[in-house]
Amino acid sequence: MKTSSLTGAPTIPVLICALAIFLLSAMDVAMKVLVLAVGVYNTVLWRSMLAALVAGAGWSAGPRTLPTIPVLGLHALRAVIVGIVILCFFWGLARLPLAEAIGLSFIAPLFALFLAALLLGERIRRQAIWASMAGLAGVAIIMAGQFGRASYSQDAVLGTASVLVSTVFYAYNLVLARQQALLAKPIEIMFFQNLAIAVILGLAAPWLAVALPANLWLPLAGVTALSLVGQFLMSWSYARAEAQYLIPTEYSAFIWAVALGWLIFEEAVTWTTLAGACLIIAGCLIAMRANPRLAEPIEATI
């Protein structure tokens, strides 16, 4: 494996991970466009159906075995959790600047540290406490920036709350993902996760679903492709390099959120968002030392 002569870090996996984060950041932009056009429910429903078809074709084409009932149950449980994460995150994203939503989402790994202690019996280390304090201070600064604006809206407050709810469920998702990875291959996980989300959301289709306008099918296909390719490249990177090298790279999502939010939506970034996001990222880097397996940002899943 090729490594950097200066740091010893695996160069190719780091670059591939950085590319994955860029693709997933571009997916966030496209998802925001779709959510603003047809709402979060229809966007997630149609994306999950299309992703299930693509991932299902990949799963069917390779060597496979049908998952057992307990594994299917785990797939279904994680699909419910991921579905809540996606709905809450993208509902909030439609009401917040891109950089602010991504910055707030980074606090998820800090919740995961405490859930791992609660559910898996892992010891809460001193680093986790310091990390949480830094992360919560970052969230407080971002929210203070919102309330300090002369023109802050109730939508922005509700969007912030929705993103924070998504991070709590995403933290639980991280714990489930560790269990799932021991029992199934990535392509199987992607297929059954998207299929289960599509089925669950489809139960409300008679009341909530609308036909996607013809001009939005191409953006939807782009969103699905960016999501699947980004997840695949990230999985490839994590299979070939330690988390300590890759996790710092993943926080480049905030840089892309700032750039793409300004370019596509003309969103200005406040100093409180920058300061808060830096504190949250610092907290997550501290958390990585406590438990690298639970320090992945939200971009890795959605």
Structural domain span for residue 122: 11-296
Domain assignment present for 302? no
Does the residue 301 lie in any domain?
no
Point out the least confidently predicted range of 262-266, 276-280, 286-290: 286-290
In a domain, 84, yes or no: yes
Residues 6+ positions from 164 with CB-CB distance below 8 Å: 104, 107, 139
Q: What is the pLDDT of residue 152?
A: 61
Over residues 175-185, the pLDDT tens digits come to: 787 677 778 88
State whether residue 210 is helix, strand or coil.
Answer: coil
202 assigned to some structural domain: yes
Distance CA 140, CA 137 (A): 5
Q: Which residues of 241-270 are buried (b: 16+ CB within 10 A; e: fewer)?
A: bebebbbbbbbebbebbbebbeeeeebebb
Structural contact between residues 240 and 17, judged by C-beta atoms closer than 8 angstroms = no
Confidence band (pLDDT; 50, 70, 90) for 115?
confident
Domain presence at residue 267? yes
- Residue 3: inside a domain: no
How many separate domains does the chain show? 1
Q: Is the torsion defined by CA of 173, 134, 156, 29 positive or negative?
A: negative
6 is a domain residue: no
Asked if residue 5 belongs to a domain, the reply is: no
Give the tens place of pLDDT for each residue, 46-92.
999 999 999 899 888 878 788 888 888 988 998 999 999 999 999 99
pTM summary value: 0.82
Give Cβ neighbours of residue 128 (< 8 Å, ≥ 6 apart).
110, 113, 114, 287, 290, 291
